[in-house]
Chain A
Amino acid sequence: MISLIDIIIQLGGVLVEQATKAKWPEELIAAIQAAVDKFAAVKNDPVTKAQLESLRG
């Protein structure tokens, strides 16, 4: 089943493509791409015990 995060990632990809064609400022395109990447990272990065243990000390 497709989730809202999947929709945002897909929508963001289309947006970056269209904004590049429309010659939007590179900083704005980079910011949009960073937001999409952040969503993709959150989606693929669940919390696990091993991960938490690696953050000790």
Chain B
Amino acid sequence: MIIKAELIPGMLLLSFAVAFKACSAPPPEVTARNYIASAKAFLDSEKQSHPECKVAPGVTPNPGPVCSALARATSAKDLAIDALETYCGGAAFDAGATCQEPVGSTATDLLSKLQSATQNMNQTVSDAKAVISP
């Protein structure tokens, strides 16, 4: 069978798309980390744009809707980090090793808590975006 040269890129693209689809779901800890990093980038950017929301020891937090929304989203993000650290947890992870997916009877529970915390974070970040840019 002879393959025309101009068809090669198209065939490569099709192969690439199939392979990409087959392995496009990263591990849950990577997905969660990427969501957290995205939330962190958004929150840091907004905190720079809203210096009145800066949190400092001994200073009463600004009760305005924007500052409250940013504070809630920051708390939710840190809770998602807690859940991810618990999911990846273990002596090796605490000592600097990469995430070790849990095994055994608690694995499903830890994954569920991680997904719940990540969803909650994403929701509070969306809420903050709605308050900042209605």
Q: Are A35 and B30 in contact (CB under 8 A)?
A: no
For B9, the chain A residues whose CB sits under 8 A away are 15, 18-19, 21-22, 24
Nearest to B77 among chain A residues (CB) is: A55
- B interface, how many residues as a size bin? 20 to 34
- A interface, how many residues as a size bin? 20 to 34
A interface, CB within 8 angstroms of B: 4-5, 7-8, 11-12, 14-15, 18-19, 21-22, 24, 32, 35, 39, 42, 45-53, 55-57
B interface, CB within 8 angstroms of A: 6, 8-9, 12-13, 15-16, 19-20, 22-23, 26, 29-30, 33, 36-37, 40, 74, 77-78, 81, 84-85, 88, 93-94, 96-99
